[in-house]
Amino acid sequence: MTRIDVADGFDVHDYRSKLKLLRQDAGSMSLRNREGLGCPACGEAFDRLFVSDDATVTFDAAPDGPICLARTDERLLVLTH
């Protein structure tokens, strides 16, 4: 399983063929993992990936399963399992 590498930042284009864009706005995007990519935090496959450049983010609802966070210099990644 390919694991998302955030050692040098995160560029969605590096994983574009394995992720499906669900929603995008000026500072964030939500993607679905359609190829079983591994989480950069725990290594397990994840369901959804939220990527944000924003300083603050509010979510309307909590996921049913575990959540992992990964941070780069420019972005916060929230992964739900």
Closest by alpha carbon to 72, among 1, 2, 12? 12
pTM for the full predicted model: 0.92
Q: What's the pLDDT at 21?
A: 96
Q: Is residue 62 pLDDT above 90, yes or no?
A: no
Which pairing describes strands 28-33 and 19-24: parallel, antiparallel, or unpaired? Answer: antiparallel
Burial readout 68-77 (b: 16 or more C-beta within 10 A, e: otherwise): bebeeeebbb
Cα–Cα dist 70/79, whole Å: 8
Q: What's the pLDDT at 10?
A: 95
Cα–Cα dist 46/23, whole Å: 17
68, 13, 22, 77: CA torsion to nearest 10? 20
Q: Is residue 6 pLDDT above 90, yes or no?
A: yes
Percentage of the chain modeled with pLDDT above 90: 85
Confidence of residue 1 (pLDDT cuts 50, 70, 90): confident
Cα–Cα dist 4/43, whole Å: 8
